[in-house]
Homo-oligomer: A and B are copies of this chain.
């Protein structure tokens, strides 16, 4: 395979840009094509069959139009619901944001009580629970759906009293369970990290999956001899529905480190 080909990344909207940012940092000599499915955001309240349909269509588009060498599902909901279908359908490697989290337990072998937050769909799927309990069956997991976090972040209210109130509401049961680490199981949530950090006990580690995923992706590309070492790389952003909010957020979070934003119609 031509190692100069780009890596495809997709998410339901702008949350996955936090993953893209981590990937750009860890893999500065790779090209990326990112799709935000802004026509269907949020995925958290959509049906499983629709999430599989959206994920399959976006992956087909990335392969047929951009000949991507790998796909990264930068959305926890799509990772929880669609990853097996995608891996069985397409010939390129497909990584998700949930499976690399096993690395966390290899690193922190003494971890006994862990909290997981995400959308309704991610939490209901129990994807994190099943994965982590396979590695450590005695792990105590407290999980909590936080459906208002995405709209709060999408509205830029991450430092507002409303964000603090909802963090208190959603996280109090987990703190009462004396968790040692908190997994941010939604790619939007790193944007709330600072506010969460200021409101929970300092001993709780906040785990942002984008860092773990980007290290895993680098290791995987190395193992498979798929690393691109070109200095002539680009990041291109695509959306399924034009959104000035997406554009503003992308400029801010990626420090304008991309060559353009286009609207596509893969559906």
Contact = CB atoms under 8 A, between A and B. Distances in A.
A25 interface: no
A154 B169 CA distance: 17
Contacts of A40: 39-40
Nearest to A242: B47
A262 interface: no
Oligomeric state, in copies:
2
Contact of A245 (B45, B148, B162, B169): B45
A46 B166 contact: no
A39 B50 contact: yes
A161 B165 contact: yes
Interface residues of A, number: 26
A3 to B, nearest CB: 36
A173 interface: no
Contacts of A38: 46
Contacts of A255: none
Interface in A35-70: 38-41, 45-47, 49-50
A243 interface: yes
Given A40-B39, A165-B161, A241 B46 contact: yes
A187 to B, nearest CB: 18
Interface of A: 38-41, 45-47, 49-50, 147-148, 151-152, 154-155, 157, 161-162, 165-166, 169, 241-243, 245, 267
Listed from nearest, the 3 A-B pairs whose CB atoms lie closest are A151-B151, A47-B242, A50-B241
Given A39-B46, A47-B242, A147-B154, 15 more contacts: A39-B40, A39-B50, A40-B40, A45-B154, A45-B245, A46-B241, A47-B241, A47-B243, A147-B151, A147-B155, A148-B148, A148-B152, A148-B157, A148-B162, A151-B151
A52 B166 CA distance: 34
B155 A162 contact: no
A82 to B, nearest CB: 15
30 contacts: A38-B46, A39-B40, A39-B46, A40-B40, A41-B45, A45-B154, A45-B243, A45-B245, A46-B241, A46-B243, A47-B242, A47-B243, A49-B242, A50-B241, A50-B242, A147-B151, A147-B154, A147-B155, A148-B148, A148-B151, A148-B152, A148-B155, A148-B157, A151-B151, A161-B165, A162-B162, A162-B165, A162-B166, A162-B169, A267-B267
